[in-house]
């Protein structure tokens, strides 16, 4: 046998094995499906719904219950008529599967599955409906007894506490009467066998009972609020208001008795809402009345508490106003007098006049308030608020007027200081100039002379301003600060000139050591020219110091250090008396 033939035989054998294996798998799967279909059919048959239908027929149902029974009897009958067909298909499928007629078996399984799927839900629903119908009579009776017990308990409660529900008693009785009618209807329907409709009526009764049970505590509470609590509170408010009016309390445009009347009208309206058991609207009205009562209590309490403050502070505020008016007038007179000699650059006089006007207005307001108090028209809380503000503001005005007074008082001292400062500046500038001229220098540098002239002119100008009829001390003070800075700069400039000249002479003497050096000789000639002709002592020093440093590094630093050390020692020595 050739290799090709062997391979072909092996392939055929494998194909046969695969085909057999596939047939076995399909066979087992069909077997499982057949068993599931058989179980589903058995479960539907095991319900024995024919027995339930028989019992229901014996109950002689009527109305909605009978219609429901007939509908689902028909549905179950149509489903059950397909049981034999399903059973036959299951048996055919099992037989074909056992003989490995797998295609025919599959077709039978498919038909059986489709039939089961088409009736399974109807059978299940029919079973539930029949169960409900069978139990409805027992359930309705139990529910009827439960609801009747709750109804009688409510009746008993209302009868015992009828006074607490008196406003809504008619509407409550109407609802209870409606329930009685519903109970009678439920009983009649049950007797007729219409358990479905009886169950609906019982559900209506339960809803009505629950609603009434929930409302009764609120009815009792709301009636108590409307008839007792609010009445007592409004009577108390009216009595307190009348007494306070007799005691000369004022309330402005507020008419408390009118507010009480409006609250009573709202109470009447809310009682009407309660009589109709419209609790939502009733409670909105109750909240409105409660808010108004709280507001009226707060107003009365506020006025009652405010009066002691007013009575305690009336004389005190009058004294403070009188005292502060006097102080303001004195301050204005003082500022008028000072304004003749000094320029008040910060509007002190205008500000003091404005403060006086403000005090005068407060005094007028105070007088009007005291008149209202005497006439019994004063709203004490408003007076308390105004007087508290006045007292605070008067303290602020007192502090401010004290600041203004102290500020202008300083003008006299500032003028004296300015005169002394001018005198001292003149002396300082003169000393600086004399000290510089005593150095026997070839001349004084032009830059120093210009600065000296500038400072002299500044001092003279400020001195003349100090001698005017009206002095601007703010400007003069600013000018004095500038003059002080310029005098200090002039002093420094003079010191620099003297130091440069002295160091120049010392360095020139030291340069005699290097007369054989052409660079030093040229520097000496240039430095002398700047010293004697230009009076530029600093440049002269820089010129010779640079040349000496170039020949002998560090030499000028020694000269300079020695010079400033001697100056410091001389300055530290005590001056002869």
Cα separation, 114 vs 106, in Å, equals 12
> Over 60: is that where the pLDDT of 401 sits?
yes
Task: Please check whether residue 279 is in contact with residue 211, taking contact to mean a CB–CB distance below 8 angstroms.
Answer: no
Task: Please check whether residue 87 is in contact with residue 119, taking contact to mean a CB–CB distance below 8 angstroms.
Answer: no
Per residue in 503-547, pLDDT (tens digit) is: 999 999 999 999 899 999 999 999 999 998 989 999 999 999 999
Per residue in 31-57, pLDDT (tens digit) is: 676 666 666 666 665 555 556 555 555
Contacts within 8 Å (CB) and 24+ apart, 361-364: 362/321, 362/390, 362/393, 362/394, 363/321, 363/325
Cα distances (Å, whole numbers) of residue 68 to 150, 199, 485: 31, 14, 117
Task: Please check whether residue 369 is in contact with residue 375, taking contact to mean a CB–CB distance below 8 angstroms.
Answer: no
Q: Which tokens in the block code for residue 267? A: 């109470």
Cα separation, 45 vs 39, in Å, equals 10
Q: Which tokens in the block code for residue 408? A: 């202008």
Cα separation, 413 vs 404, in Å, equals 15
Q: Is 183 exposed, middle or buried (0-12, 13-18, 19+ CB in 10 A)?
A: middle
> Over 80: is that where the pLDDT of 439 sits?
yes
Cα separation, 321 vs 336, in Å, equals 22
- Taking the C-alpha atoms of 86, 90, 95 and 99 in order, what is their torsion angle to the nearest 10 degrees? 120
Per residue in 88-106, pLDDT (tens digit) is: 766 666 666 566 665 666 6
SS (H, E, C) 346-372: CCHHHHHHHHHHHHHHHHHHHHHHHHH
Interval 392-406 mean pLDDT: 90
> Over 90: is that where the pLDDT of 7 sits?
no
> Over 60: is that where the pLDDT of 215 sits?
yes
pLDDT of residue 233: 93
Among 6-15, 45-54, 173-182, the range scoring the smallest mean pLDDT is 45-54
Per residue in 143-158, pLDDT (tens digit) is: 777 878 887 888 888 8
> Over 50: is that where the pLDDT of 381 sits?
yes
> Over 90: is that where the pLDDT of 548 sits?
yes
Interval 436-461 mean pLDDT: 91
Interval 409-415 mean pLDDT: 75
pTM: 0.52
Helix (H, G, I), strand (E, B) or coil at 199: helix
Cα separation, 179 vs 203, in Å, equals 11
> Over 80: is that where the pLDDT of 4 sits?
no
pLDDT of residue 60: 47
| % of the chain exceeding 70 in pLDDT | 75
Q: Which tokens in the block code for residue 216? A: 């009764």
Interval 344-362 mean pLDDT: 86
Task: Please check whether residue 387 is in contact with residue 317, taking contact to mean a CB–CB distance below 8 angstroms.
Answer: yes
Among 195-199, 382-386, 512-516, 533-537, the range scoring the smallest mean pLDDT is 195-199
pLDDT of residue 473: 75
Interval 477-489 mean pLDDT: 91
pLDDT of residue 173: 85
What's the chain's average pLDDT?
A: 81
Total residues found in the chain within this entry: 577
pLDDT class of 344 with cuts at 50, 70, 90 = confident
The residue to which tokens 């005090």 are assigned = 359
pLDDT of residue 528: 93
Cα separation, 225 vs 341, in Å, equals 79
pLDDT of residue 464: 86
Bridge partners of 342, per DSSP, are: 471
The residue to which tokens 């009058």 are assigned = 318
pLDDT of residue 577: 39
Cα distances (Å, whole numbers) of residue 411 to 90, 335, 347, 416, 462: 127, 11, 15, 9, 16
Q: Which tokens in the block code for residue 46? A: 């095991």
Q: What is the 3-state composition of the chain as percent helix, strand, coil, each rounded to the nearest 5?
A: 90, 0, 10
Among 108-117, 268-277, 426-435, the range scoring the smallest mean pLDDT is 108-117
Cα separation, 450 vs 267, in Å, equals 98
- The angle at the Cα of 525, spanning 520 to 528, to the nearest 5 degrees, equals 115
**Where does 376-445 have alpha helices with state H?**
380-437
* E-state strands within 107-223: none
Contacts within 8 Å (CB) and 24+ apart, 54-60: 55/134, 56/130, 56/133, 56/134, 59/133, 59/134, 59/137, 59/193, 60/193
């Amino acid at each position: 046998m050739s290799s090709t033939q062997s391979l072909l035989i092996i392939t055929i054998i494998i194909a046969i094995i695969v085909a057999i294996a596939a047939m076995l798998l399909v066979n087992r799967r069909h077997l499982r499906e057949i068993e599931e279909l058989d179980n589903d059919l058995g479960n539907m048959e095991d319900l024995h719904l024919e027995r339930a239908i028989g019992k229901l027929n014996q109950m002689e149902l009527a109305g909605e219950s009978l219609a429901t029974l007939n509908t689902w009897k028909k549905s179950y009958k149509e489903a059950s008529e397909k049981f034999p067909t399903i059973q036959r298909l299951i048996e055919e499928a099992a037989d074909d599967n056992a003989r490995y007629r797998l295609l025919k078996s599959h077709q039978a399984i498919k038909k059986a599955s489709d039939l089961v799927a088409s009736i399974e839900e109807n059978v299940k629903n029919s079973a539930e409906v029949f169960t409900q119908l069978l139990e409805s009579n027992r359930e309705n009776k139990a529910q009827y007894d439960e609801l009747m017990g709750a109804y009688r308990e409510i009746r008993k409660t209302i009868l015992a506490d009828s006074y607490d529900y008196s406003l809504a008693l008619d509407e409550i009785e109407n609802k209870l009467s409606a329930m009685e009618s519903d109970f009678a209807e439920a009983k009649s329907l049950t007797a007729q066998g219409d358990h479905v409709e009886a169950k609906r009526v019982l559900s209506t009764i339960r809803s009505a009972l629950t609603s009434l049970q929930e409302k009764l505590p609120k009815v009792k509470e709301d009636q108590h609020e409307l008839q007792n609590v609010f009445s007592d509170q409004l009577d108390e408010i009216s009595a307190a208001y009348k007494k306070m009016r007799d005691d000369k309390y004022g309330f402005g445009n507020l008419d408390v008795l009118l507010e009480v009347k409006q609250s009573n009208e709202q109470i009447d309206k809310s009682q009407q809402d309660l009589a109709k058991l419209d609790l939502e609207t009733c409670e909105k009205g109750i909240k409105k009345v409660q808010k108004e009562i709280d507001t009226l209590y707060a107003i009365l309490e506020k006025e009652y508490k405010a009066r002691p403050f007013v009575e305690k502070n009336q004389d005190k505020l009058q004294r403070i106003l009188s005292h502060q008016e006097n102080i303001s007038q004195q301050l204005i007179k003082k500022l008028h007098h000072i304004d003749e000699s000094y320029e008040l650059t910060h509007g002190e006089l205008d500000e003091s006049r404005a403060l006086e006007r403000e005090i005068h207005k407060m005094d007028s307001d105070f007088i009007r308030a005291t008149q209202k108090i005497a006439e019994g028209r004063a709203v004490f809380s408003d007076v308390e608020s105004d007087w508290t503000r006045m007292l605070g503001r008067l303290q602020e005005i007192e502090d401010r007027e004290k600041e203004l007074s102290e500020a202008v008082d300083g003008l006299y001292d500032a003028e004296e200081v300015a005169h002394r400062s001018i005198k001292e500046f003149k002396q300082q500038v003169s000393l600086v100039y004399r000290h510089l001229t005593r150095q026997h220098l070839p001349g004084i540098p032009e830059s120093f002379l210009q600065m000296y002239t500038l400072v002299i002119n500044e001092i003279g100008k400020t001195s003349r301003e100090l001698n005017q009829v009206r002095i601007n001390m703010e400007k003069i003070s600013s000018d004095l600060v500038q003059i002080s800075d310029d005098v200090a700069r002039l002093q420094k400039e003079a010191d620099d000139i003297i130091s440069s000249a002295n160091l120049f002479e010392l360095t020139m003497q030291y340069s005699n050591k290097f007369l054989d050096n052409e660079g030093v000789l040229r520097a000496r000639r240039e430095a002398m020219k700047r010293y004697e002709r230009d009076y530029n002592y600093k440049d002269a020093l820089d010129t010779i110091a640079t040349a000496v440093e170039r020949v002998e590094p560090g030499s000028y630093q020694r000269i300079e250090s020695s010079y400033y050390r001697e100056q410091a020692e001389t300055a530290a020595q005590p001056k002869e008396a």
